[in-house]
Structure 1
Amino acid sequence: MAPPRNVVKIAIKMRDAIPQLIQLDQAKPLAAVLKEVEPDAL
C-alpha cells in the first residue's frame, strides 16, 4: 500500500536539540505541526 500523497518526511534541526526526522501531513495546519515538534515554540 502506497503512503498518502500529502504525507512527506522532513528533517528538522533546531539549536540545542537532537535533529529529528518526522512525517509531515501537509493537510494539517502548520501551527499544529509546530506544536508537536516544539511545544514551547508558540
Structure 2
Amino acid sequence: MFMINQKEKGISLIQNASIGYILVQLMPLMMQLLVGIENTVS
C-alpha cells in the first residue's frame, strides 16, 4: 500500500496484522492459564 501512495490504509493493515499475530502467539499461554484455574477450582 505504501508503493501506491495509500499510507493510511497500509499502516492500518500492518497494525491489524501485528495485533492478530500477537494474539495467536499468546493463545497457548492463555490456554495454560485457563487449565490452571480450572484445576485449582475443582
TM-score tier (shorter)? under 0.3
TM-score normalized by the length of structure 2: 0.23
The structure whose Rg is larger is 2
Higher strand share: 1
Higher helix share: 2
